[in-house]
Structure 1
Amino acid sequence: MPSMVNLYTCMSKVKVCHFYSGNRFGGLEKFLINVQRYSNMTPKVDHSFALCFEGKLFDHLQHLKNNVELIKLNTLSNPIKVVLAWVNIFKMLKRNEIDVLVSHEIWNYILGYFPAKLAGVNVVLWSHTSFFDYKLYKLLKYFLPQEIVADSLHVSELIKERWPSIPVKTLYYPHPSPEGVPAPKASNDIPTILYVGRFARYKGLHILIESLKYLNDLEFKLDIVGGPQSVEEEKYKIELETIIKKFNLQERVNFVGEQSDVASFYFKSDIFCHPNIAPEAFGLVFIEALYCGLPIVATNIGGAKEIFASTDKVIGKLVNPNQVEELSSSLRDMIVHSKLREEIKIYAPEVSRQLCDPLLSMQKMEDYLIRFRKK
């Protein structure tokens, strides 16, 4: 017979459904996987998931726990498909007795708004972007959320400027230190610069590659982990390859593609560079790099700026966006000053832990979500 404590725990759990599209894979998708992985750290919350697409995220979530539902919809422009999706979402919310639908990003929020309201379910928008000029955000005046969760203080401030009447809560991602150990370095090893991420233009990979033309007098190499996830990104990769050939960087720049063991690349690298020309909402790759002791060279905007401001320690260098020569100069400093890199390696992991320790982040998430238990 279950104890009264266990009965109370079961009865008092808040049922949360995380709703997302799931057709790409990056920092947000890693976050949702970690919510699933560390769900035992929120004993007062029962997490489940609903996705619009099958794929890598769906498989990861389903592998961890069989609590993922598929709402098949790939467009908001087909009225019949939208209505069918509404019906499926409504049935799911009622069947699973969901207390709050947490919609990750605006597309899913607008899709889930009416079914949630009809089902008497609380609905929250969790924003993971800095780009509020996207046309769907103009519809928020018709679908005002009860609250918005932001994944960084940077995003929170942007939301407050645009929608001052909507309450905003900042919650950092739960993210663990990657498993592994730094690869031993010989004194004659060539310093490795690392980029990890999608091939989205705003991430500034073309700026990084062009900056290398000023470093021909130094020994170094650049490893690019990741790959295109859309037609636009395929075209962008072709542009990057053209820049590499133009400046004769073929022997220095390596496209290593998507990797299941990204941690091994962090651990064998010396410098992490991500020179955004538009801000990251937060930038989980910065957290991963710091966990692995890498100094960061990034632009002084968005998530990178916020992470640097969170500590009084030197964790790398910030430069202005779109400044090729300034970026090159900062990379040169990091390549040349191996002693500084070693100093940063000592305290960089603690910066990530203070922001994204899984237990602390999941407990803060639980404290926020239990407020939405239906009466």
Structure 2
Amino acid sequence: MRVLHVYSGNLYGGIETFLHTVAREQGLQPGLTHEFALCFEGRLSRELREAHATLHLLGAARVGRPWTVWRARTALRELLQRERYGAVICHAIWPQALFGPVVRAAGVPLVFYQHDALNGRHWLERWARVTQPDLVISNSRYSAGTLATVYPRAPWRLGYCPVTAPVTDGAPARRARLREELGAGDGEVVIVQASRMQEWKGQRLLLEALARLRQVPGWRAWVAGGAQRPEEERYLDGLKAQVVALGLTERVRFLGHRSDVPALLEAADIHCQPNLGPEPFGIAFVEALRAGLPVVTTAMGGPLEIVDATCGVLVPPSPATLATALLRLIEDPEARGRLGAAGPARAKTLCDPSAFLHRLEQALRDMPAGAPRA
């Protein structure tokens, strides 16, 4: 079966990581052939080409410029007329709203991959509601719990995002080299957060907690992630000012955009992303578990399905409680080792790419739809 994944492609975060993983690992399930249709060139399009995936460009589409939407829809319509796909998967609500009607009109089974929690009130969600998909795949039970606000009658399946195991060959040397490059001493405990520069991701809360540990020796923090929008640039500037005000300039380092997050995780000792709002899923947490890091995060949303007491610590969104959890792991290498050691097995159980691709094929072949499948 040939499957076409439709997405925007102009930013980079969890969905882009997901699609790149599918492109790299699709050979694990030969029954499915994955192709990709994007509106924008960017990091994702480069990674898909590097993975030798078939990529179709629909053209930049912006809702505020209706003619660009019309052109992109026309490009997709012509692609669906020219090629034969067993299903089209629209990732997130924006492509579902823009391109769902085109897929429906072409008679191809339509799948909505739900990567976010929904509330039915946003104008994009109201637009997308017009075209009900044949199947919804939700990235967590938490996300699925919000699906009825937009698609109350659509059948759905659970689809935790696939996460590839890190390359272990040469890991000790890479770890030592990167730690030296980023100024971490041999005995220092490195706390890492690698995420989008958005306030709800909890960078500010992490800094507030770390300020309570100023007098504790032997730790430092790396904050990875580059600003991709003007509001994110303003937020990042505020974080840097906060570090200065809290007296953490010698302990906290902003790394900017990184394409080597697996290496960062490999070089760190604790992963901490203390979200202020519910994360729909949280690929970053699974990547950290895969790397053997104990995970510290707030007890809400998708991470409740990922992190348990065997591999991490769940806390309320409070600087004092977060500081206490981090202090325990900084000072207790046995606890760090025990929680970290359980992470890879937990991540594999939830997000093994081979198992994901097998379940995806089964879901698509079992999907009720009136159109024949390629």
Same fold (TM > 0.5):
yes
Q: 1:16 deviation in Å? A: 1.1
Contact 2:117 2:144 in 1 (8 A): no
Give the structure 1 partner of residue 200 of structure 2. Answer: 202
Q: 1:155 deviation in Å? A: 0.8
Q: Following superposition of structure 1 onto structure 2, how do residues 199-278 of structure 1 map, counting pairs within 5 Å?
A: 199-219=197-217, 220-278=219-277
Runs of 4+ in 1 over 4 A off after TM superposition: 184-188
- Supply the distance in 2 between the matched residues of 1:162 and 1:98 (Cα, whole angstroms): 26
Q: 1:52 deviation in Å? A: 0.5
- Supply the distance in 2 between the matched residues of 1:318 and 1:43 (Cα, whole angstroms): 38
- Supply the distance in 1 between the matched residues of 2:76 and 2:139 (Cα, whole angstroms): 25
Contact 2:35 2:55 in 1 (8 A): yes
Letter of the 2:200 partner, please give it: Y
Are residues 1:319 and 2:315 paired?
yes
- Supply the distance in 1 between the matched residues of 2:129 and 2:18 (Cα, whole angstroms): 28
Q: Following superposition of structure 1 onto structure 2, how do residues 91-170 of structure 1 map, counting pairs within 5 Å?
A: 91-132=78-119, 133-160=121-148, 163-170=151-158
SS at match of 1:215: coil
Are residues 1:337 and 2:332 paired?
yes
Contact 2:58 2:73 in 1 (8 A): no
Give the structure 2 partner of residue 349 of structure 1. Answer: 344
Q: 1:160 deviation in Å? A: 4.0
Q: How many residues align?
A: 358
Contact 1:45 1:369 in 2 (8 A): no
Provide Cα deviations, 1:38-92, integer angstroms capped at 9, x if missing partner.
2122222221110010011001112222510001133123222222222111100
The sequence identity of aligned pairs, in percent, is 31
- Supply the distance in 1 between the matched residues of 2:61 and 2:67 (Cα, whole angstroms): 12
Are residues 1:64 and 2:66 paired?
no
Gaps of 5+ in 2: none
Q: 1:149 deviation in Å? A: 1.0
Provide Cα deviations, 1:213-264, integer angstroms capped at 9, x if missing partner.
1102212100112211111110000110111111111001001122232222
SS at match of 2:310: coil
Are residues 1:25 and 2:12 paired?
yes
SS at match of 1:302: coil
- Supply the distance in 2 between the matched residues of 1:264 and 1:167 (Cα, whole angstroms): 39
Gaps of 5+ in 1: 1-13
- Supply the distance in 1 between the matched residues of 2:307 and 2:241 (Cα, whole angstroms): 33
Q: 1:136 deviation in Å? A: 0.8
Letter of the 1:38 partner, please give it: E
- Supply the distance in 1 between the matched residues of 2:100 and 2:312 (Cα, whole angstroms): 42
- Supply the distance in 2 between the matched residues of 1:344 and 1:187 (Cα, whole angstroms): 22
Contact 2:15 2:115 in 1 (8 A): yes
Contact 1:193 1:223 in 2 (8 A): yes
The root-mean-square deviation of aligned C-alpha atoms, in Å, is 2.0
Q: Could you tell me the TM-score, scaled by structure 2's length?
A: 0.91
- Supply the distance in 2 between the matched residues of 1:96 and 1:55 (Cα, whole angstroms): 25
Letter of the 1:142 partner, please give it: V
Give the structure 2 partner of residue 371 of structure 1. Answer: 366
Provide Cα deviations, 1:19-46, integer angstroms capped at 9, x if missing partner.
0000111221111111111212222222
